[in-house]
Amino acid sequence: MSNFKRIPNGSVTTPRGFRAAGVTAGFKRSGAPDFAMLVSDEPANFAGAFTSCTFAAAPVQVCRKRVLTTDTIRAAVINSGNANACTGETGLANAEATCVLAANKLGINPSDVVVSSTGRIGTQLPMDTIKKGIELAVAALSDDGGRRAAEAIMTTDTVPKSAAVELELDGVVCSIGAMTKGAGMIDPSLKVPHATMLCYITTDVKISNLLLAEMLSGNVADSFNRITVDGDMSTNDTVIVMANGLSGAEVRPGTANAELFRAALLQIMQQLAREMVMDGEGVTKFVNVEIFHARTREDAKLCAEAVANSLLCKTAWFGGDPNWGRVVAALGYSGAQFRPENVDIFYDGVPVVKAGGDAGTPEEDLVDIVRKREFSVTVDLHDGDESYWVWTNDISYEYVKINADYHT
């Protein structure tokens, strides 16, 4: 095997030495699974990336501390249905207490545990429910429990999201597994170390915390930080990577193994990022927004994000309306520097705008494109050499309904 390949039905328990569980603790009135646990049989090196929201949730604060003060971890505890955000000192104490309760059940140190929460903001964690979840999850831990764990961390997601890839390093077959959740409140700006999206990644490769953090930072910039569902950043966005080394394969800086591992890690992160957009709340369209030939990378980014987050663009896409005026308006208010008279725009390669004006393509041809499940909006600024892309979606009636009813 010279490269890496996707493992069908892979999950966070695909790599050696990882067990997981997904159980119903009682956070959700529906009775759906709402509590997950992920455990490494051996101490795992780790790295994390977290929301840059000033109102970072209590579990995010705990995880940040772990990244800065702890060499290895053994377990992650994740509840769905309560974000434990904006809960003050009590919320922080409850997040730490969750780690203690899990550690006691697992026979490890509290500092070996990280914690994540997702759900409603501003309500305290029901600690009796946490205790129940921990007891049930520890009893249910299994080396094939990754798919159930992915189901248990869902909120408004419609499908669980798991993936795994296999690669060969120095003749040793090893793997990377992952699970993520996120369908709304998705516009991450993750920093290392400091979505709602949660992502847990596991690998049986041996790799240092420093190199893992460097890879995570670069790959986040080209995956989770390139997606937006609704332009709203969460208080709880978290990505954690755990590496327990049980395959025996090692990744060192500046080697071919490092580049192969980095590429495999990026593939799995991009796959899950794409799945999050496809499963966004009420989403009917996946839209790839690409900007080319900008003066600076920042100009390209400003343009891409302005189009990707424009409610007028998103609602036009939902309605199958090729109204390119909304795209040029978003470009114009983006703050980017460019010459309007140079701009060309394409839908799936078909010219829409030429030299800043109507390209003359019949509207019915453009309607056929924007009514597809997936299409691209490409902008050529003809003003430099920089580029940037963002994955986004439309906004539908269902999105409004989900978020209007979410509180109750």
Q: Amino acid identity of 161?
A: K
Dump the DSSP string for 169-200: ETTEEEEEEEEEE-SSS-----BTT----EEE
- Whole-number percent of the chain with pLDDT over 70: 95
Active site residue 196: yes
pLDDT tens per residue, range 120-164: 899 999 999 999 999 999 999 999 999 999 999 988 788 899 999
On the question of pLDDT at 384 being above 90, the answer is yes
- Name the least confident of 180-194, 321-335, 394-408: 180-194
On the question of pLDDT at 300 being above 50, the answer is yes
Considering the candidates 196, 202, 203, 378, report the single residue annotated as catalytic: 196
Task: State the DSSP code for 119.
Answer: E
Residue 230: the pLDDT is 73
CATH T-level topology, domain 286-405: Ubiquitin-like (UB roll) (3.10.20)
Q: What is the largest CA-CA distance in the chain?
A: 69
Question: Model's pTM, two decimal places?
Answer: 0.92
pLDDT tens per residue, range 235-288: 888 999 999 999 999 999 999 999 999 999 999 999 999 998 988 778 899 999
Confidence at 193, pLDDT banded by 50, 70, 90: very low
245 vs 232: CA distance, rounded Å: 36
pLDDT tens per residue, range 99-124: 999 999 999 999 999 999 998 899 99
What does the domain layout of the chain look like in residue ranges? Answer: 4-278, 286-405
- Contact (Cβ atoms closer than 8 angstroms) between residue 244 and residue 44: yes
Architecture of the 4-278 domain: 4-Layer Sandwich (3.60)
- Contact (Cβ atoms closer than 8 angstroms) between residue 81 and residue 117: no
287 bridge partner residues: 375, 392
- Contact (Cβ atoms closer than 8 angstroms) between residue 202 and residue 269: no
Q: Name the residue with tokens 């509590």.
A: 35
Sign of the Cα torsion 333, 336, 342, 348 reads negative
What is the residue-averaged pLDDT of the chain?
Answer: 92
224 vs 266: CA distance, rounded Å: 10
